[in-house]
Amino acid sequence: MGFEEEYQAFLNAHLQARTGERLRRLQEGHNQAEMLFLKQVWWPIYFHFKYLHPEYEVDDFKDGKRYLDFAYIRPGIRICLEVDGYGPHLKNISRWQFSDNLERQNQLVIDGWTVIRFSYDQVKEKPRRCQQIVQQVIGQWLGDELDQTSLSIVEKEVLRLAVRKGEAIFPKEVEKYLKLSDKTVKKVLSQLVDKKLLIPASGVKRIRSYRLGDRVKHPIW
């Protein structure tokens, strides 16, 4: 299925699973900015919404409840993804409200969350940069998934480099990163291409750079 079908299925599944205030927040809080983030940033990277929760409820440090735009949750991983709009409601917030927003983020970090925040303009005008940041942050947790595959240590390290960078990698930087010879790096890159974990990003007869293949974008995540 394409984005529209997967998005509707994703949203409907969460709507059906919620009641009360959690349902109301999803109905009223999930708007254009959140949908655009999924369409322009998340979907082109992963092509699914597994482990992602919209308008996710967390306990507030004042003993109340707060809601995150998105929470990416897996065992040992909790990432908050926020899309901040810029409009009159932000221009007119009080100094105490501004302080409260900062306190909210601080508390999430104290509670073990990794927090990523984008402006609406970033999502709209610079989605590729947003994708790179998401890949780099989530890529820090790639190790556990890769350890379950039958890849060599060197192959895993090359993939980790590609995920952290969030864009094409070059043989020379792999050589420098892993302190390996040109011949060894070419062999490892070729093996990863054969396994469809990397694909050529530039060059035809002589490949100059590589990017992540679909097998990394789907099952490993």
Cβ atoms 186, 171 nearer than 8 A: yes
Predicted confidence at residue 106, as pLDDT, reads 84
Ranges of the chain whose pLDDT falls below 50: 88, 218-221
pLDDT, tens digit (0-9, with 9 covering 90-100), for 89-112: 555 566 666 776 777 788 888 888
Residues counted in the chain: 221
Predicted confidence at residue 138, as pLDDT, reads 82
Predicted confidence at residue 146, as pLDDT, reads 57
Predicted confidence at residue 219, as pLDDT, reads 39
pLDDT, tens digit (0-9, with 9 covering 90-100), for 180-214: 999 999 999 999 999 888 999 888 778 889 988 76
What kind and span of H or E run contains 114? Answer: strand 114-119
Cβ atoms 115, 108 nearer than 8 A: yes
Predicted confidence at residue 75, as pLDDT, reads 66
Predicted confidence at residue 141, as pLDDT, reads 62
Cβ atoms 83, 34 nearer than 8 A: yes
Residue 167 phi, psi dihedral angles, 5° rounding: -155, -175
Sorted by sequence, the CB contacts under 8 Å of residue 181 that are 6+ apart come out as 175
Which residue's entry shows tokens 């919209």?
54
Intra-chain end-to-end CA distance of the chain, in Å: 18
